[in-house]
């Protein structure tokens, strides 16, 4: 892994992306004992409009705690794509919800498209777990933590009654990206 | 047994540190970006039989804090910006009446309402000079979630040991970011509790400094009946206007801090041995500074960082030494020139002192610091 | 035999700072009698005040005494009571301290119904600073900052307390000295926030300016305007014009704050 790897989750407020960022940071820093810093947008910025959650992961202590130019970005909405998908490293990756981001940001990075919300609703059965689908997808896309570490962190976060649902969401998100990458 | 680790925000780490230190009372008033400290303690304190009270305003919160501390409670209060301005009145009361308590200020932009969700470091001089009248201040500036946890414990220890309010100055970035925190086992970190009187209630004087600069503090409801006032007072706690008594008390309350600098001050020195340019940085900005030092070293620039964890009392002696060694000291801070004034005061022109200020709600990034260093060298 | 007040007074702390003719001393004696009536253990009694002439009272009393900052007494006292509910907490202070700068703390202490007794000595003026008008100075009255007559309307402290949620509200006067201890004692025995307003006079900064020729005139005014609640019930509005009701004005039972918080602790601990 690179010394410092930066990931941004962006979308609409209420889509659970801050939680997705926190779970990823837990997977890295608690499950895998790496270093991680998670931060997020606050206040008026976080309500309604575009919301973001950023995670920096490293094998070494992390000094500057904010994302600079991210290695990987998720955009769940067009607004988020327009606002946050501009700072991606050359050679980086962008995952978009293909149903909502029609105007695909262009740049020197790889774009992977999955209908994340639809997958949550139709394949998993609950739209509310779209963030976990997205998390599985981002982990598959970046390999920043292991598949197992991600799943462990997800399951540690959810109530007993929702374990199966989240396990399924995480797994489907992960597989969808692997399939998409195989096709590319 | 594996240690308990958790990913948590700086504000949560502060609350957890307080609990470890034995905090059993919180009074506060909601204000961004400090509110998580209150939220965590509203959940955790009643579980251990402690008390949480949300007061009608920030002044009332500090009042309740002091009242609770007099009954023996280890009390915490957290706030930001405008709230900290309101607290200045009773911060002074806690100073003169010598009441141990801890106040957390999560700095945001300002003045006034400013930018409630944006970071700032613009309350640094206020922390020392905000309340009226001469007084000492102990102000801590941690920079990571782990450090916030541990420094909150230290803040309580210093408050109890020196019988005074201790301020923790966070900033919105440190307060809201999440990092792994390793929670200490019971007994792992030192916990200091205030000294109890050794004399009988009849002989007790709450400000009797004949046996030491920090007189023991009795608690209400323990058989000791004593008087506490915000007026200048004599050893027995009652008001006095006798010049020599007032003078001695005022000086003692400052001396108890200034004669114990070695115990109170704490700094981190990063790559300073051969440093020609020294970054003086604290809080979240010190993280950008460390990044900048590492990058500059790669380019062959002999850069280092001096990072106070105790900002007040200011580390005069060490900064003076560094000003003899360095060609330049560069002070990045999210304000338009606060701690740089202290560096300038102490450096006395022995080296270049430069400032990087930012008040637009964005952090000072490493690139800005690197550019400034190259400019001054 | 004369009542033994001295056992409750800190040795060497008298004489007090109050001027001749001030009612604060009368009220302090009433408070001492009330504390005796209630058998208060002075080791477990906190007497908390703000700033002003009335707020100097705690310094004379042999108890756990806390002379705080201007207006903040109720908030300091709330901290004491919350942290140590087994203590009896008494708050004393003046009208300006309690209802102007301390108004916010005052109404919220009433709202919480925290078990404390707040004795407000209402002399209608800021005495210690030399007679500036307070929220309780009558409209039209003269003060050092209202030399053309006070344009401000006044607070009715008792109504304010009732409106804010205090569960015991009483009023007395410095003239009716024998009633003071009874009202305060009932307030102390009441579970919840008790407000006892005692009408009082400041001959030095209010009386002289407002054409009272002597302290006796001021006392006579207190005697004349006071109407006990029971007597008032039989009087017409015309007869009550210019009068002030005295006695217990309001009493109700409502959950007390520290008891409510004890329930919070139980819920948090899953008991």
What residue spans define the domains of chain C?
6-268
**Which chain B residue is nearest to residue C263, measuring alpha carbons?**
B46
Q: Which CATH number is associated with domain C6-268?
A: 3.40.50.970
C61-76: average pLDDT: 98
CB A45 within 8 A of CB A109: no
**Chain A and chain C touch, per 3+ beta carbon pairs within 8 A:** no
- For position A72, what pLDDT does the model report? 98
The CA distance from B93 to B62, in Å, is 10
Residue C114 has pLDDT above 50, yes or no: yes
The chains in contact with chain B, meaning 3 or more Cβ pairs closer than 8 Å, are A, C
Please report, for the domain that includes residue A168, its CATH number: 3.40.920.10
CB contact under 8 A, B90 and C13: no
* ipTM score: 0.97
CB contact under 8 A, C261 and B70: no
CB contact under 8 A, C80 and B46: no
A5-22: average pLDDT: 94
A68: three-class secondary structure by DSSP: coil
Residue C166 banded pLDDT, cuts 50, 70, 90: very high
| Preceding peptide of A184 cis, ω within 30° | no
CB contact under 8 A, A45 and B33: no
CB contact under 8 A, C64 and B226: yes
Chain B interface, best mutation among C75, C89, C102, by max B CB count within 10 A: C75
The CA distance from C46 to C116, in Å, is 10
Q: Which residues of C touch B231 (CB under 8 A)?
A: 67
> The domain containing residue A133 runs over which residues?
5-183
DSSP-assigned letter for residue B316:
H
Is residue B299 packed enough to be buried (19+ CB in 10 Å), middle (13-18) or exposed (0-12)?
A: exposed
Q: What is the mean pLDDT of chain B?
A: 97
Tokens of residue B131, six digits: 């309340």
Residue A1 has pLDDT above 50, yes or no: no
Chain A interface, best mutation among B7, B13, B113, by max A CB count within 10 A: B7
The CA distance from C229 to C252, in Å, is 16
**Which chain C residue is nearest to residue B223, measuring alpha carbons?**
C43
In tens, the pLDDT along B124-153 reads 999 999 999 999 999 999 999 999 999 999
**Chain B and chain C touch, per 3+ beta carbon pairs within 8 A:** yes
Token look-up 């030192």 returns: B190
Residue A67 has pLDDT above 50, yes or no: yes
Cα separations (Å) of B323 from A65, B277, B285, B326, B343? 29, 10, 21, 5, 9
CB B89 within 8 A of CB B59: yes
Residue C271 banded pLDDT, cuts 50, 70, 90: confident
3-state secondary structure C132-180: EECCCCCCCCCECCECCCCCCCCCCHHHHHHHHCCCEEEEEECCCHHHH
A74: three-class secondary structure by DSSP: strand
CB B97 within 8 A of CB B165: no
Q: Which residues of C touch B221 (CB under 8 A)?
A: 43-44, 46, 64, 84, 86-87
C214-223: average pLDDT: 96
Listed by number, the residues of chain A in 43-82 with a beta carbon closer than 8 Å to a beta carbon of chain B are 43-45, 62-66, 68
Residue B1 banded pLDDT, cuts 50, 70, 90: low
State the DSSP H helix or E strand holding residue C263, giving kind and residue range, or none if neither: helix C257-268
Nearest to C82 among B43, B51, B230 (CB): B51
CB B331 within 8 A of CB B340: yes
Tokens of residue C79, six digits: 């901290």
Q: Which CATH number fits domain B5-182: 2.40.10.220, 1.20.210.10, 3.40.50.1000, 3.40.50.970?
A: 3.40.50.970
The CA distance from C103 to C101, in Å, is 6
Residue A53 has pLDDT above 90, yes or no: yes
- For position B336, what pLDDT does the model report? 98
Q: Taking Cα atoms as reference points, which of B287, B14, B9 lies closest to residue B150? A: B14
Residue C72 banded pLDDT, cuts 50, 70, 90: very high
CB C58 within 8 A of CB C97: no
In tens, the pLDDT along B189-199 reads 999 999 999 99
Flag whether residue C69 sits within 8 Å of chain B, measured between CB atoms: yes
Whole-number percent of chain A with pLDDT over 70: 95
- For position C188, what pLDDT does the model report? 98
Residue A41 banded pLDDT, cuts 50, 70, 90: confident
CB contact under 8 A, B117 and A68: no
CB contact under 8 A, A38 and B291: no
C40 conformational bin, left if phi > 0, alpha if psi -120 to 50, beta if neither:
beta
Residue A184 banded pLDDT, cuts 50, 70, 90: confident
C77-90: average pLDDT: 98
B256-269: average pLDDT: 98
Q: Is the pTM of this model over 0.95?
A: yes
Residues ≥6 apart with Cβ < 8 Å to C7: C62
Flag whether residue A99 sits within 8 Å of chain B, measured between CB atoms: no
Residue B104 banded pLDDT, cuts 50, 70, 90: very high
CB contact under 8 A, B7 and A63: no
A42-71: average pLDDT: 85
Segments of chain B assigned to CATH 3.40.50.920? 269-376
The 10 Å Cβ neighbour count of residue C265 is: 17
Segments of chain B assigned to CATH 3.40.50.970? 5-182
**Which chain A residue is nearest to residue B32, measuring alpha carbons?**
A43
Interface contacts (B, C; CB < 8 Å): 137
Tokens of residue B371, six digits: 């550019």
Chain CA centroid to CA C40, Å: 18
CB A76 within 8 A of CB A12: yes
CB contact under 8 A, A36 and B363: no
Flag whether residue C79 sits within 8 Å of chain B, measured between CB atoms: yes
A147-155: average pLDDT: 98
Flag whether residue B5 sits within 8 Å of chain A, measured between CB atoms: yes
Nearest to B7 among A30, A42, A65 (CB): A30
Whole-number percent of chain C with pLDDT over 70: 100
Whole-number percent of chain C with pLDDT over 90: 99
CB B114 within 8 A of CB B81: yes
CB A96 within 8 A of CB A44: no
Q: What is the mean pLDDT of chain C?
A: 97
CB contact under 8 A, A42 and B179: no
CB contact under 8 A, A44 and B117: yes
Domain count, chain A: 1
- For position B209, what pLDDT does the model report? 92
In tens, the pLDDT along B214-248 reads 999 999 999 999 999 999 999 999 999 999 999 99
Cα separations (Å) of B21 from B105, B154, B188, B293? 18, 8, 11, 34
CB contact under 8 A, C64 and B220: yes
CB contact under 8 A, B227 and C87: no
- For position A49, what pLDDT does the model report? 73
C4-16: average pLDDT: 95
Domain B269-376 sits in CATH 3.50.50.60? no
**Which chain C residue is nearest to residue B92, measuring alpha carbons?**
C69
């Amino acid at each position: 892994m690179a010394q410092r790897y930066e990931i941004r989750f962006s979308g609409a407020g209420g889509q659970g992306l801050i939680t997705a960022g926190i779970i990823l940071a837990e997977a890295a820093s608690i499950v895998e004992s790496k270093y991680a810093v998670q931060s997020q947008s606050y206040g008026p910025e976080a309500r309604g409009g575009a919301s973001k959650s950023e995670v920096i992961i490293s094998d070494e202590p992390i000094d500057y705690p904010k994302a600079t130019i991210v290695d990987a970005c998720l955009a769940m909405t067009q607004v988020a794509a327009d606002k946050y998908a501009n700072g991606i490293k050359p050679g980086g990756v962008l995952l978009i919800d293909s149903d909502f981001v029609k105007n695909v940001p262009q740049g020197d990075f790889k774009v992977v498209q999955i209908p994340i919300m639809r997958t949550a609703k139709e394949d998993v059965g609950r739209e509310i777990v779209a963030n976990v689908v997205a998390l599985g997808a981002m982990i598959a896309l970046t390999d920043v933590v292991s598949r197992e570490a991600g799943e462990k962190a997800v399951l540690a976060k959810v109530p007993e009654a929702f374990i199966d649902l989240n396990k399924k969401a995480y797994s489907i998100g992960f597989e969808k990206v692997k399939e998409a990458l195989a096709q590319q | 047994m594996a240690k308990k680790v958790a990913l948590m925000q700086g504000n949560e780490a502060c609350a957890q540190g307080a609990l470890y230190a034995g905090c059993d009372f919180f009074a506060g008033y909601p204000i961004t970006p400090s509110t998580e400290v209150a939220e965590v303690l509203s959940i955790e304190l009643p579980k251990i039989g402690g008390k949480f009270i949300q007061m009608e305003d920030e002044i009332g919160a500090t009042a309740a804090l002091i009242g609770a501390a007099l009954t023996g409670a280890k009390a915490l209060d957290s706030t930001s910006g405008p709230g900290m301005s309101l607290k200045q009145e009773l911060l002074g009361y806690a100073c003169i009446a010598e009441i141990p308590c801890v106040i957390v200020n999560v700095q945001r932009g300002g003045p006034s309402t400013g930018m409630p969700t944006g970071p700032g470091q613009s309350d640094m001089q206020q922390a020392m000079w905000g309340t009226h009248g001469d007084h000492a201040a102990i102000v801590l500036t941690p920079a990571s979630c782990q450090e916030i946890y541990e420094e909150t414990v230290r803040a309580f220890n210093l408050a109890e040991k020196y019988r005074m309010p201790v301020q923790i100055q966070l900033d919105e970035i440190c307060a809201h970011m999440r990092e792994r925190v390793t929670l200490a086992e019971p007994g792992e970190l030192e916990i200091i509790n205030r000294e109890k009187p050794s004399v009988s209630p009849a002989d007790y004087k709450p400000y009797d400094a004949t046996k030491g600069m920090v007189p023991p503090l009795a608690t209400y409801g323990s058989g000791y009946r004593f008087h506490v006032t915000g007026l200048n007072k004599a050893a027995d706690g009652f008001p006095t206007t006798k010049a020599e008594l007032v003078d001695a008390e005022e000086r003692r309350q400052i001396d108890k801090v200034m004669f114990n600098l070695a115990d109170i001050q704490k700094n981190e020195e990063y790559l300073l041995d051969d440093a020609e340019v020294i970054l003086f940085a604290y809080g979240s900005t010190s993280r950008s500074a460390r990044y900048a030092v590492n990058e500059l070293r790669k380019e062959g620039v002999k850069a280092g960082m001096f990072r106070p964890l105790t900002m007040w009392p200011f580390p005069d002696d060490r900064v003076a030494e560094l000003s003899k060694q360095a060609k330049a000291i560069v002070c990045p801070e999210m304000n338009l020139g606060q701690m740089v004034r202290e560096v300038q005061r102490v450096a006395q022109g022995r080296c270049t002192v430069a400032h990087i200020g930012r008040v637009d709600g964005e952090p000072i990034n490493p690139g800005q610091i690197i550019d400034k260093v190259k400019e001054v060298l | 035999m004369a009542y033994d007040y001295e056992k409750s007074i800190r040795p060497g702390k008298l004489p007090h700072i109050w001027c001749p003719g001030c009612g604060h001393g009368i009220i302090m004696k009433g408070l001492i009698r009330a504390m005796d009536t209630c058998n208060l253990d002075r080791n477990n009694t906190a007497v908390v005040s703000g700033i002003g002439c009335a707020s100097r009272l705690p310094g004379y009393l042999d108890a756990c005494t806390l002379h705080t900052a201007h207006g903040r007494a109720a908030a300091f006292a709330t901290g004491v009571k919350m942290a140590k509910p087994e203590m009896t907490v008494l708050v004393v202070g003046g009208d300006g301290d309690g209802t102007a700068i301390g108004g916010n703390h005052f109404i919220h202490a009433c709202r919480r119904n925290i078990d404390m007794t707040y004795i407000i000595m209402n002399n209608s003026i800021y005495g210690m600073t030399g007679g500036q008008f307070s929220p309780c100075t009558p409209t039209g009255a003269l003060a050092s900052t209202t030399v053309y007559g006070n344009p401000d309307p006044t607070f009715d402290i008792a109504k304010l307390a009732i409106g804010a949620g205090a569960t015991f509200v009483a009023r007395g006067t410095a003239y009716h000295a024998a009633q003071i201890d009874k009202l305060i004692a009932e307030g102390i025995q009441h579970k919840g926030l008790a407000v006892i307003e005692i009408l009082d006079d400041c001959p030095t900064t209010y009386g002289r300016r407002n054409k009272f020729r002597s302290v006796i005139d001021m006392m006579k005014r207190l005697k004349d305007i006071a109407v006990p609640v029971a007597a008032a019930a039989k009087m017409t509005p015309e007869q009550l014009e210019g009068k002030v009701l005295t006695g217990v004005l309001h009493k109700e039972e409502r959950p007390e704050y520290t008891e409510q918080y004890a329930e919070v602790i139980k819920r948090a601990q899953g008991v």
